[in-house]
């Protein structure tokens, strides 16, 4: 009977060891699967971040290009306005100078006529 108990005890210990080893193996397998899942999630997050960054960069480039185009157009409008004002100013000065000369001539002519009388 002692031999049977000893063998039974060995068998129980062996079964306990087998179960313990199975639990360890199952835990290792779950750990490995969790690490693989984490890596997949991390890779997806990196890819999504890259996609978002590329989209943001593209949007910024589009906005800056549009702004550059608008500013170039506005700069042309300002230059044309300045040229137009310069021409108006030159024409106005020329007209005033001409009017002044006519007025002076008329004044001299009137003075000459008065002096002749």
Name which of 65, 22, 33, 49 is nearest 14 in CA terms: 22
pLDDT tens figures, 57-90: 999 999 999 999 999 999 999 999 999 999 998 8
Q: How many domains in the chain?
A: 1
Residue 116 lies in a domain: no
Domain contains 114: no
Does 18 map to a domain? yes
Helix (H, G, I), strand (E, B) or coil at 1: coil
Which of the two residues, 116 and 24, has the higher pLDDT score?
24
In a domain, 3, yes or no: no
Q: Indicate the pTM of the whole model.
A: 0.54
What whole-number distance in Å separates Cα of residue 8 and Cα of residue 10? Answer: 5
Residue 57 sits in which domain range?
10-106
């Amino acid at each position: 009977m002692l031999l049977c108990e000893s063998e039974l005890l060995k068998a129980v210990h062996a079964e306990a060891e087998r179960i313990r080893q199975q639990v360890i193996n199952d835990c290792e397998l779950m750990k490995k699967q969790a690490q693989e899942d984490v890596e997949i999630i991390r890779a997806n997050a990196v890819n999504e971040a890259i996609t978002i960054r590329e989209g943001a960069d593209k949007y910024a480039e589009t906005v800056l290009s549009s702004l550059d185009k608008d500013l170039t157009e506005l700069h042309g409008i300002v230059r044309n306005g300045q040229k137009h004002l310069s021409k108006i100013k030159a024409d106005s000065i020329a007209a005033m100078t001409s009017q002044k000369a006519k007025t002076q001539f008329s004044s001299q002519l009137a003075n000459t006529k008065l002096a002749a009388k």
